[in-house]
């Protein structure tokens, strides 16, 4: 177990110990005061009983009074002893009940904290193991075997067992596909299928109000496919369409100012021209590819922890989009996944669900379509791969473009 996991576990157990200690102190204080209060009530009742006997005693006189006094004293003494015993038994029962409640409270507190510690430890193990696998370039198959072998050893691992859900994770050829439309060539990168954690945790990043769209983190399986090495450029758009809506029209710039509806018209023409079935990526496919797929190094942005290495955004773009492919690619050879233009996805927008899914397609209907990726005029926090944007299908802006995907068959 690595040192950072040990430190996190120690902190969690320390928090748990402190919570249990505070709980014990509070419950003992409650037990003490309630027990004493009830004992005082019972003692008060005995006092009233004694007072009653004294009143009866004073009303008697003479020989009969002495005799009556003796009888009352004997009876009252026995009665008081019985009452004291009853009071003791009541107090003991009350203490037992309070002790049971204390134990139940401590048990619930313990199990709740233990589950949290186990979940955090499990998440850390998964993250560390995924990093190791990505370095070995064999993450897909080995991770699946690892989740099965450790299922009985780490309870939370059962939540990520993916054997009941199937994906087409066949290994694609390493070389990219070259597609030609007229005089324009573009390239599709192979994306081998696998499983990943979709979304992000607020503990990992300093998230703003957009973080709610990235929750909850859950396991998602993606089948193998091809994705455009670059965003669709003006020259590729011009090769098929009669008009170009872009504000910035240089040939190698990404096409911008295109609506989701206009993109569908472009894809129809492209499919007729090539005889293939191009489409937009799903929300889950886009995020999987941007994070590096099965070769992910868990970078903050798509390909690096340093945004300037991989993206054109508000802080470095000079208020204009840039030629595609001029920054570093991510682990899969994809460029500009964290900047240049926001990219349309095929899904209707909907809230994420806390469940393991394979090749999700999003809701069947809605008002908005999902978008991903930063843009030349976007703040840096919007450039993380987890950020989910959305807009109406007819919307078009000078920072909004798209990227193509192609099924492996």
pLDDT (tens digit, 9 = 90+) per residue, 160-187?
Answer: 444 568 888 888 988 999 999 999 999 9
Q: At which residue do the structure tokens 């797929």 appear? A: 293
Least confident of 31-35, 316-320, 363-367, 397-401: 31-35
pLDDT at 144 over 80: no
**198 near 217, Cβ under 8 Å?**
yes
Residues 236-264: what's their mean pLDDT?
A: 97
In 3D space, the residue among 204, 235, 198 whose CA is nearest the CA of residue 359 turns out to be: 198
pLDDT of residue 358: 93
pLDDT at 66: 53
What local confidence, expressed as pLDDT, does residue 199 receive?
83
CA distances from 131 to 128, 278, 345 (A): 5, 32, 27
For residues 241 and 96, which has the higher predicted lDDT (pLDDT)?
241
Q: Give the other-Cβ count within 10 Å of 305's Cβ.
A: 11
Cβ pair 279, 271 in contact under 8 A: no
> Do 343 and 372 contact (CB within 8 A), yes or no?
yes
Report the Cα 289 to chain-centroid distance in Å: 19
- Average pLDDT along the chain: 77
pTM over 0.75, yes/no: no
Q: Is the pLDDT of residue 154 over 50?
A: no
pLDDT in the model for residue 137: 41
How far is CA 377 from its chain centroid? 28
């Amino acid at each position: 177990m690595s040192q950072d996991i040990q430190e996190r576990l120690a902190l969690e157990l320390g928090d748990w110990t402190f919570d249990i200690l505070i709980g014990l102190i509070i419950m003992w204080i409650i037990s003490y005061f309630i027990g004493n209060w009830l004992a005082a009530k019972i003692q008060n009742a005995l006092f009233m009983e004694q007072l009653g006997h004294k009143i009866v005693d004073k009303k008697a006189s003479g020989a009969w009074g002495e005799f009556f006094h003796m009888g009352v004293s004997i009876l009252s003494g026995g009665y008081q002893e019985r009452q004291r015993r009853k009071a003791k038994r009541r107090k003991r029962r009350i203490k037992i009940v309070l002790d049971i409640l204390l134990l139940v409270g401590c048990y619930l507190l313990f199990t709740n904290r233990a589950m949290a510690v186990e979940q955090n430890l499990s998440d850390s193990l998964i993250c560390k193991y995924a990093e190791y696998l990505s370095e070995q370039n064999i993450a897909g198959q080995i991770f699946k075997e690892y989740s099965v072998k450790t299922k009985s050893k780490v309870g939370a691992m059962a939540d990520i067992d993916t054997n009941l859900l199937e994906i087409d994770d066949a290994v694609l050829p390493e070389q990219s596909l070259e597609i030609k439309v007229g005089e324009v060539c573009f390239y599709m990168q192979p994306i081998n299928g696998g499983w990943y954690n979709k979304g992000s945790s607020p503990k990992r990043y300093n998230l703003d109000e957009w973080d709610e769209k990235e929750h909850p983190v859950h396991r998602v399986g993606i089948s193998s496919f091809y994705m455009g090495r670059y965003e669709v450029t003006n020259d590729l758009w011009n090769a098929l369409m009669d008009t170009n809506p872009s504000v910035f029209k240089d040939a190698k710039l990404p096409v911008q100012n295109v609506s989701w509806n206009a993109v569908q018209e472009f894809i129809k023409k492209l499919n007729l021209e090539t005889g293939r079935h191009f489409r937009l990526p799903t929300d889950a496919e886009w995020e999987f590819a941007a994070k590096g797929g099965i070769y992910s190094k868990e970078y903050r942005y798509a390909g690096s922890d340093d945004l300037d290495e991989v993206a054109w955004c508000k802080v470095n773009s000079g208020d204009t989009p840039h030629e595609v492919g001029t920054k570093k690619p991510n682990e899969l050879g994809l460029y500009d996944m964290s900047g240049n233009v926001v990219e349309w996805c095929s899904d209707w927008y909907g809230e994420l669900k806390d469940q393991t899914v394979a090749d999700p397609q999003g809701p069947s209907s809605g008002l908005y379509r999902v978008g991903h990726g930063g843009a030349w005029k976007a703040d840096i926090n919007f450039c993380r791969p987890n950020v989910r944007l959305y807009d109406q299908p007819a919307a078009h802006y000078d920072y909004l473009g798209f990227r193509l995907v192609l099924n492996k068959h």
